[in-house]
Chains A and B, each alone.
Chain A
Amino acid sequence: MMLQVEAVDKEFDGFKAVNGANLTVERGELVAVIGPNGAGKTTLFNLITGQLKPDKGRIIFKGGDIAGLPPYQICKRGIGRSFQVVNLFPRLTVLENVRVSILSQQGRSINLFSPARNLATDKTTNILKSVGLLDNAEATAGALSHGDQKVLEIAMALGSEPELLILDEPTAGMSPEETLATMELIKKLASTRGLTILFCEHDMQVVFSIAQKIMVMYQGRTLIQGKPDEVRSNKEVQGAYLGGSE
């Protein structure tokens, strides 16, 4: 068991954004979280990676409770993530964005006097190549197209060498072609780097085609977690989500 979320609650001013969520992720799996807008998917991810502290419940990662730890410590334990809304260092170049992440992972971010540009070059290049951003390495991150920025998000998360990679709507705002390419990329990363990936996604077709397990959230709680077929045939899920307006 790599990650286990047990009965986690989070309330904002009386609104229960997450209300009894459960989730398990085994090593090497590709797990998706789905649910209608406002179901609490992003909040759940923020609870796991420490941007928010849970009110109740336990979050066990590799045998240790990580609930309530600050984000940087959770990252050091091996969880990397990307964000739904593009969240990078807009004034730095693409290369620098990834390198900062790698240097931090290597514990060199307090190194004061060696030139950064000579450090971690191979690794940075390697990651940029694997996500297809090498041609744009010297471009300012803020000047990239939206699709490329979303891919850079993933590259930055890879820089911290996570065992578990959490992707919050990695294809939000992408064109259908970009979505397809990004999903291929995620599949490739999962197999070549041996990553465990937890992601949430709007596009149902995408989710059912690549996820090995799916967790369905509705109004902050977990309806079911299971294989795509089980989820598809579940009556409650059909009522809450698949048969709904979306």
Chain B
Amino acid sequence: MPRKRIINLRSFWWQIAIPVILLILPFIAPSFYVYILALIFVTALLAMSLNLALGYAGIFQFHHAVFYGVGAYTVALMLTKTSLPVWIGFIAGPIVAAALGLVIGWLCVRLTRLYFGMLQIALGSLVWAIVFKWYDFTGGDNGIYGIPLPSILSSLNGTYYFVLIILLICLIVLYLIVNSPFGSTLQAIRDNPGRCAAIGVNVRRHQLICSVIAAFFAGVAGVLFVVLERSVFPDLLFWTFSLELCIMCLLGGWFTFLGPVLGAAIIVVLRTFVGRYTEYWTLILGVTLMLLIFFLPQGVMGYFQERFKPRVKASAEGTQA
């Protein structure tokens, strides 16, 4: 079960070192890096939520950014247009995103594979168009700026810890889900939907539930984005960003649990640091992707897992011989 052993004993020290580094970082690193790291966390959660559908269930969730954007817009609108408590906005973001996931998913699960993805891009773009054009309500292409937040989240360090804690909670919940009976049924559907039906699994219902869960966590990421940036804009739910999310999953390794985190980190870092020198940073991304497809088809994390995993397969072949 290589997928379940994310980090093996050899790298035991990393399991202590990484949390410690992440915890003390705001005290030692310049605030710009703290901000970039927080942005990576938000994007990582978003990419992981996509990978639940894409990598674990094999659902072509091609327009995942819509749920991110809708989650972000929901909390932004509630904080600027109503006087409800902040935490209600924080909860409403993921719930509205999941509700949209239910509507779009309910229509899409009727179709399979690529057609699912095409319909989702179409429906998602509809949502984008509404957000983009409805100036009175969403601010149109200006978006919404200066969203008021409680004072504890006003400093960058406060934001950083908030994002980190929410990310960790979500990671734990996602880990439980992928290792639950539901998670293994999703992986079975990914490998072979027809066979899954033959062993009594209602494939569409499982795919719909998965799509809604993925949308919910995308909504959480959307809320975190608002906490970090205090603004929302229509690009959050533009389809090219969805494509970028798919690339993060592939880049990091879509058959691994933490792969999308790595993929998100790579893309955010590339965009930030290469983007500083040239606006054509996607050129570097394109070359990276090409190399990846040829040399690491399982993604970066997939490659390392393949190299360091216990040799179960080999011994099994040995017993047959």
Contacts and interface: CB of A to CB of B under 8 A. Distances in A.
A10 interface: no
Interface residues of A, number: 50
A89 B191 contact: yes
Contacts of A144: 316, 320
Interface string A108-123: 1111111111010000
A191 interface: no
Interface string A62-76: 000000001110011
A239 B154 CA distance: 88
A100 B176 contact: no
B183 interface: yes
A140 B313 contact: yes
Contacts, number: 137
B195 A89 contact: yes
A95 B23 CA distance: 39
A76 B200 CA distance: 6
B191 to A, nearest CB: 4
Contact of A110 (B1, B196, B206): B206
B201 A113 contact: no
Interface string B166-179: 00000000001101
A182 interface: no
A136 interface: yes
A70 B176 CA distance: 30
A53 to B, nearest CB: 13
B187 interface: yes
B198 A81 contact: yes
A83 B188 CA distance: 16
Consensus secondary structure, chain B interface:
helix
A105 B184 CA distance: 14
User: Which of A76, A115, A156, A159 neighbours the largest number of chain B CB atoms within 10 Å of its CB?
Assistant: A115
Contacts of A51: 194, 198
A109 B201 contact: yes
Interface string A37-79: 0000000000001110000000000000000001110011000
A49 B320 CA distance: 33
A113 B313 contact: no
B184 A112 contact: no
Contacts of A110: 181-182, 206, 209
Interface in B277-321: 312-313, 316-317, 319-320
Contacts of A139: 312-313, 316-317
B38 to A, nearest CB: 28
Contacts of A111: 180-182
A93 B1 contact: yes
A90 B58 CA distance: 14
B293 to A, nearest CB: 19
A136 B316 CA distance: 6
A88 interface: yes
Contacts of A103: 181, 184-185
Contacts of A156: 195, 199
A116 B1 contact: no
A87 B226 CA distance: 46
5 shortest A-B CB distances, which residue pairs? A139-B316, A75-B200, A89-B191, A71-B197, A101-B199
9 contacts: A49-B198, A51-B198, A88-B195, A89-B191, A90-B192, A108-B181, A135-B316, A139-B312, A140-B312
Given A72-B201, A91-B191, A103-B181, 4 more contacts: A83-B198, A97-B188, A116-B179, A139-B316
Interface of A: 49-51, 70-72, 75-76, 80-81, 83, 87-93, 96-97, 99-101, 103-105, 108-117, 119, 135-136, 138-140, 143-145, 148, 156-157, 159-160
